[in-house]
Structure formats: C-alpha cells, structure tokens
Structure 1
Amino acid sequence: MESSPQAAELPPPPVHVAIIMDGNGRWARSRGLPRTAGHKRGAESVRRTVEAAREMGVSYLTLYGFSSENWKRPASEVADLMGLLRLYLRNEIANLHKNGIRLKVIGDRTRLGPDIVRMIEDAEARTESNVALTLVLALSYGGRQEIVEAMRSVARSVAAGTLSSDVIDETVVGAHLFTSGIPDPDLIIRTSGEKRISNFLLWQGAYAELVFIETLWPDFGRAELETALRDFHRRDRRFGGAR
C-alpha cells in the first residue's frame, strides 16, 4: 500500500510510539452492541495501526493490550479477551513475519494460560530476526509491578554478589525492566479522550510526549496516527534543558 500524500510530508517519525488503546467498550455501547463487539473491532484497529506504523517508518510500536488491573473485569469479559488474543496469535503471526515485523510481549506471563504462553514464545522465536518494525504487546502488564519486579531482580543480584549496590544507576534499573534493549518511547498516545497513563510504561515514559485524542480505539487508524505524529513534531523537546 502506498503512503498517503500527508504521510509523505511528515518529518522522520519518532523511533518508538506507544499507544494506550482505550474506548472499545464505549464504542460498542454507543451502538447498542456487547463489549465483545468493541474488542473485536479494536483488534481490526491493531492490524491497521501496525501496518501504518511500519509503512511510516516507526521502529518500535508498543500497544497496551491488557493491563494487570484488567484481570478485575468480569470473568466472561476476560475470557473473551483471552480468546481474541489466541485468535490474534494464531492468525496474525504469519502476516507479521511476512512483513518483517518482530513480536515481543512484555508483562506477567504467569497469569496467562499455558497455551497462550506457548504461542507467545513460538511467535517471538519465529519473528526474532525481523527488523522492519518491533511490535511490543503489553499483556498482563502494569508499570508499578514492572518496577517492583526489577527491584527484586536487582536485589537478588546484589545478594548473590554479582552486582555491587554502588553501581546501581538508571542504566542498571533499565536493564532489569521488561523493556530491556528497547528504547524508551518518544510518544505515548491515548485514545478515547481520557487524559491519564494508567500505569503504563511509568519508568520508560519519563520524557515521552503525550498526545490524547478523542477517537475511540476501534475507529483509530492511519489518519489518527499521522495526526498524532504531526502533534509530536510540533513539540519542543528539551529534556529538562533550557531553551
């Protein structure tokens, strides 16, 4: 697919874009449909957005697919979401691989079904050499929990004598996060008009630009991604420095 004229006019894209995909339930409710319909339509938006990000030259795209707090939702809705995840892993990996996209999953896998964990491991292994785009899915993920686990890992290394407490710095902490080896996001987008980050990439997003858009996730696509990137390029990123 050819890029739109608008996309051709954009400056080089940010290296890493992260998206909080919000609004599936409201999209369905506004149409008198069950929440499941919103989640299914949201899965189509994932496909469109991944394709657009790859074509626009984004190197890393992280999607907040299922938070650690989402386990509190009704069991039937969680089961539906896990079913959609299974379908995605079963049906989309071949297409990702064909298009040179690497898949990486971050989060607490111990709460996922064993079959889902196996599919994730197989997909990561199959796509690990791809370089067109790295798609990071945050599943059973929470930013605070990630930092706690990183601290536990650091503490174990110190206790074992393989790490001195004197050398612990931001680089050491970053190396113990789920996102080790992945650059911090330049841009975090949240759909549906909500203006919070909801426990997403708390450490990594320290200097990310934030863009909040009214569009509900099932309606998100190339045009909305281009709009967010245009907003990003209007920002003056000083990282705490003076003008």
Structure 2
Amino acid sequence: MTSAATRPGLRLLLALLAVSLLAAGCMQGLSQPSPKKRYYTLNPQRDAAPLLAQPAAGRLKVRRLVVAASFDTQELVYKLKGGGFVTDYYHLFLAAPGDQAAQALTRWIRDAGIFETVLSPTSSTNSPYILETSIDELYADYDASPSKAVVRLHAILLHDTGLKYDVVMDRTYDSATELRGSDAADAVAGMEAGLASMFGALEQDLATALATQEQN
C-alpha cells in the first residue's frame, strides 16, 4: 500500500507525464506541413495564321487592361453554392491577371496581322489607334451546373484624329466555359479558353471596324 507521504510525489509525477504527453501532441500538430501555394499563368495562345494578308492600319497602342475591383486580385475567385464569392489563398495567378491578359492580348493582335505595329501598354510612343480593354468578370462559377469559368471583356477602339478621339468600335464579350474538373488548374484553363474565344471574336471585329472606317 502506498503511504500518505508518497502520494504527493506520485501525483506530481503523473502531472508531469500528462504535461509531457500533451506537449508532444501539440508539437506533432505544429510540425504538420502547411499547404503550399500554387501559381498559375493566364496565357491564351493564338495558333492560327494571320487574319489579314495585308495590315488594315498602321499603328495600334494597347492600353493597360483594367480589371474590375471585385476580381482584381492574384488569388483565384470562386462563386460558391448559394451565390457567395470567396478567394483562394493557396491558388493564385503568378502575376496580376490584368497584366497577364494585356500581354497576351498585345501578342494576339500582333499575330493577327491587322496592324503594321502593335505597341504594348508599357510603350511611351503615341499611336493613331488605341485599344482600351477591361475585364469586368473573372471567376470560377461553382454555383452553376455544370461549373463554368466566367469571363466578361469590354473593348473600345479609338482613333486619335489629332483634335479628338473617335470611337471606332465598342464591344462587350461574354464567355462561360464548362470546367473539365473541380480543381484550380481546371478553373484557370477555363478562363484561358474563354479569353482565347473572346480575343478571336475581338480580332474579327477590329478588322471589320477598320474596313468600315476606310469605306467612310
């Protein structure tokens, strides 16, 4: 039988053992690796031949592409069941989506052969033609069935006459691309496909608008 004198020591030993086990459990929990962030590019590619055999106009300046405040973030944006929106802390665009889209659009219009020269937003050179664009929506819609990548693009072609800016073309493009899967890579792939489709429609509209302007 344990004497009364030894019971306090036994209680202390058991208490220390319990604290040690608790600390070990906490340390094990803290040692679990946190999820790694993953980064994605937004880079639609134009693989077709030039749209025109000869350029329809001389020089075009593509201005900086503006993204609506609700979607102007490197974190991917999702629309969830019930209509609420969230951002994904662990899945992000490698650079600002507006900057990536503007770079891709500049390259796309250049490859289309509509203008002799296409200047990027970083150029300080003046141009008789100016393309202003904005992305008004950019998100993965998981409230829809099936899920979709939603993108809305607004484009305005301006002509600088030296005295004023004439609006040559004003268009809005909408895309809702069905997602192949449920992960972030599928969402970005859907956004890229949507931008590619809208860029293709935009180049056609630019060529038509310039041809109409020449006739007038």
TM-score, normalised by the number of residues in structure 1: 0.34
Larger radius of gyration: 2
TM-score, normalised by the number of residues in structure 2: 0.37
More strand by share: 2
Higher relative contact order (CA closer than 8 Å, sequence separation 6+): 1
